[in-house]
């Protein structure tokens, strides 16, 4: 860059939020810069592994699912309670999940994000890679562009969309997000990608055609609050753990040792045996829910995706990319409206806040706003897996002793493992949170 | 699996200029040093004998964990690597 390059809008970060915003704006004829620090979009991004449906992108992009680089569609969903040498699992396999429109797919971010950004480019956006945004350009008290680290000059536009991920330094510099984070509102995910022949995956998990399996684990995190996951790709498995940072920090345990122990747990080992480690990755996840959402709009700036902490982790469903993409489309619409009105002030961009409030993104996060607090309960990660596994082991063990009445047995095990008062309190808190 | 192997599979384009810079003096007085166990790439090492924190940026996964868990604000710089440098995921 020699001097100033001017655009109608600058999007910081070519992840699902940024590319969805750029695509929406470029389609409407705006001159958009999509700025990405990787050598290609998706190079820096990781997640567990399931992409849910993207209703807003399907609107912009009717043949989305035919064109996107996807892996298997999820037909089977499971939860496994784990205690170290016992597991208890439930799975649901629904015929509905095996028919279009599919409910979710496994994907690889370096492929998916790159493809989505290229679609934005096809619509007319200018993708600038290898560009780490450094400072905001402020003119007359409004955000008016960005500078790029180690490059001269600046990019200017009347509005910037901050889609630069969970730590969003762009939103911080605009004074929209809290200056420091609460480890209690954050988690870190670590993941191993395990290479495995397709037929082995099909046989092992009972899959045919392009069917996929998604499993979550409760317990198995060495007492650290968090959980595990295993997802099937075409010819690899994504396996990993997510830890609440408040709990991990004081545990003295390391994520990779815990991941190793998890993969060596006998029932998990059977799932990944014969596979070959291919890549290890990690990333922080905004898990604070509704309470963590920053100011979404400032003068000349809008915040979307992880940068806006749009992540729904209730323990049952884990959503992020769908929320990011939806917020990106809405951010794009708000910028288009601001261009029509010629007003890029906080007030002029406020339409984004309204669109978000009316969308499932904010509505769901509001509905589940108590879930992050409920999940900060160590009993979920220690005592409950023991309760479930202990009880199921008892039910199935035949040793000549007469059986006990099941509800009595449950109460007895619950009293031993959890305490009845705790059980009642936790059940109430879960009921209110979900 | 040998846990040391896990770090060998991820690719990097290493920048000579570190994107994270510590003031190790702050770490000496830290009562927690949660970064040493929390960092998924084991970039932080505390030496009890030397009373010294060492940070190596080469294998940094840019995940953000240290930025969140450090409650002493020990960073004189915490930003992402310059464009094109740092971790390069292929399949994750």
Per-domain residue ranges of chain B: 3-82
Helix (H) or strand (E) holding A190: strand A186-195
pLDDT at A386: 83
pLDDT at A48: 86
Local confidence band at A1 (pLDDT 50, 70, 90 cut-offs): very low
Which chain B residues contact residue A232 at CB under 8 A? none
The per-residue pLDDT for range A371-389, each reduced to its tens digit, is 887 777 788 787 888 888 8
Nearest-Cα residue of chain B relative to residue A238: B92
Average pLDDT over chain A, rounded to whole? 92
pLDDT surpassing 90 at residue A398: no
The mean per-residue pLDDT over the stretch A26-44 comes to 98
Answering whether pTM is above 0.95, one says no
A166 contacts: CB under 8 Å, gap ≥ 6: A186, A283, A284, A285, A286, A306, A307, A309, B64
Above 0.90 for ipTM, yes or no?
Answer: yes
The mean per-residue pLDDT over the stretch A142-150 comes to 97
Q: What is the CA radius of gyration of chain A?
A: 23
More confident residue, B66 or A399: B66
pLDDT surpassing 70 at residue A315: no
Task: Write out the CATH class of domain B3-82.
Answer: alpha beta
A110 touches chain B (CB under 8 A): yes
Mutation target vs B (from A243, A283, A287; most B CBs, 10 A cutoff): A283
Instruction: Give A42 to chain B, closest Cα distance, Å.
Output: 8
Local confidence band at A3 (pLDDT 50, 70, 90 cut-offs): low
pLDDT surpassing 80 at residue A433: no
More confident residue, A36 or A100: A36
Across the interface, of B42, B73, B90, the residue whose CB is closest to A254 is B42
Cα distances (Å, whole numbers) of residue A120 to A21, A28, A355, B48: 9, 12, 22, 52
Q: Whole-angstrom Cα distance, residue B45 to residue B53?
A: 6
pLDDT at A400: 80
pLDDT surpassing 90 at residue A100: no
Q: Of A98-112, A135-149, A312-326, which range is least confident? A: A312-326
Cβ neighbours, 10 Å, residue A36: 29
**Is residue A94 exposed (0-12), middle (13-18) or buried (19+ Cβ within 10 Å)?**
exposed
pLDDT at A2: 43
Nearest-Cα residue of chain B relative to residue A240: B92
Structure tokens at B54: 């060492």
Select from B64, B92, B59, B91 the least CA-distant residue to B78: B64
User: Concatenated DSSP letters for B9-33?
Assistant: GSEEE--SS-SEEE-HHHHHT-S--
**Looking at A18-118, which runs of residues are DSSP E strands?**
32-35, 50-52, 73-82, 87-93, 104-106
> Cis omega before residue A305 (within 30°)?
no
The mean per-residue pLDDT over the stretch A309-332 comes to 91
The mean per-residue pLDDT over the stretch A67-88 comes to 91
The per-residue pLDDT for range A215-274, each reduced to its tens digit, is 999 988 999 999 999 999 999 999 999 999 999 999 999 999 999 999 999 999 999 999
pLDDT at A381: 81
């Amino acid at each position: 860059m020699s001097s100033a390059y001017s655009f109608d809008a600058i999007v910081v970060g070519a992840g699902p939020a940024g590319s969805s915003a750029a695509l929406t704006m470029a389609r409407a004829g705006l001159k958009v810069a999509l700025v990405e620090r990787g050598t290609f979009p998706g190079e820096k991004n990781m997640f567990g592994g399931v992409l849910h449906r993207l209703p807003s992108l399907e609107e912009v992009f009717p043949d989305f699912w035919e064109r996107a680089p996807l892996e298997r569609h999820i037909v089977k969903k499971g939860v496994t309670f784990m205690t170290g040498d016992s597991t208890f699992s439930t799975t649901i396999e629904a015929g509905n999940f095996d028919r279009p429109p599919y409910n979710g797919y496994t994907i690889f971010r370096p492929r998916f994000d790159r493809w989505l950004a290229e679609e934005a480019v096809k619509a007319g956006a200018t993708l600038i890679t290898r560009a780490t945004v450094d400072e905001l350009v402020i003119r007359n008290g409004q955000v008016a562009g960005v500078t790029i680290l180690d490059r001269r000059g600046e990019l200017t536009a009347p509005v910037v969309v901050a889609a630069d991920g969970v730590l969003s330094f762009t939103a911080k510099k605009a004074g929209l997000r809290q200056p420091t984070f609460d480890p209690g509102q954050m988690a870190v995910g670590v993941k191993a990608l395990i290479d495995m022949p397709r037929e082995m995956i099909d046989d092992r998990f009972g899959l045919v055609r392009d069917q996929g399996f998604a499993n979550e684990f409760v317990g198995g995190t060495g007492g650290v609050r968090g959980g595990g996951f295993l997802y099937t790709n075409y010819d690899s498995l994504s396996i990993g753990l997510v830890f609440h940072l408040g709990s991990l920090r004081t545990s003295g345990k390391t994520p990779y040792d815990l991941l190793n122990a998890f993969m060596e747990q006998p029932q998990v080992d059977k799932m990944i045996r014969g596979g070959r480690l291919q890549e290890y990755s990690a990333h922080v996840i905004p898990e604070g829910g509704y309470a963590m959402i920053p100011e979404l709009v400032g003068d000349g700036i809008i915040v979307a995706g992880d940068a806006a902490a749009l992540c729904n982790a209730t323990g049952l469903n884990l959503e992020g990319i769908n929320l990011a993409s939806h917020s990106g489309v809405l951010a794009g619409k708000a910028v288009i409206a601001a261009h029509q009105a010629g007003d890029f002030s906080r007030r002029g961009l406020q339409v984004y806040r309204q669109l978000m409030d009316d969308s499932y993104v904010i509505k769901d996060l509001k509905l589940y706003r108590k879930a992050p607090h409920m999940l900060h309960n160590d009993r979920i990660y220690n005592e409950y897996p023991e309760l479930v596994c202990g009880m199921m082991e008892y039910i199935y063990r035949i040793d000549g002793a007469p059986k006990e009445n099941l509800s009595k047995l449950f109460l007895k095990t619950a009293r031993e493992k959890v305490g009845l008062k705790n059980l009642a309190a936790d059940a109430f808190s879960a009921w209110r949170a979900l | 699996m040998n846990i040391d192997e896990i770090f060998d599979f991820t690719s990097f384009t290493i920048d000579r200029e570190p994107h994270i810079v510590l003031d190790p003096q702050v770490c000496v007085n830290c009562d927690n040093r949660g970064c040493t166990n929390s960092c998924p790439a084991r970039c932080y090492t505390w030496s009890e004998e030397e009373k010294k924190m060492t940070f190596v940026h080469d294998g940094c996964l840019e995940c953000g964990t240290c930025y969140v868990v450090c409650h002493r604000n020990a960073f004189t710089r915490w930003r992402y690597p310059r464009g094109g440098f740092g971790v390069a995921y292929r399949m994750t």
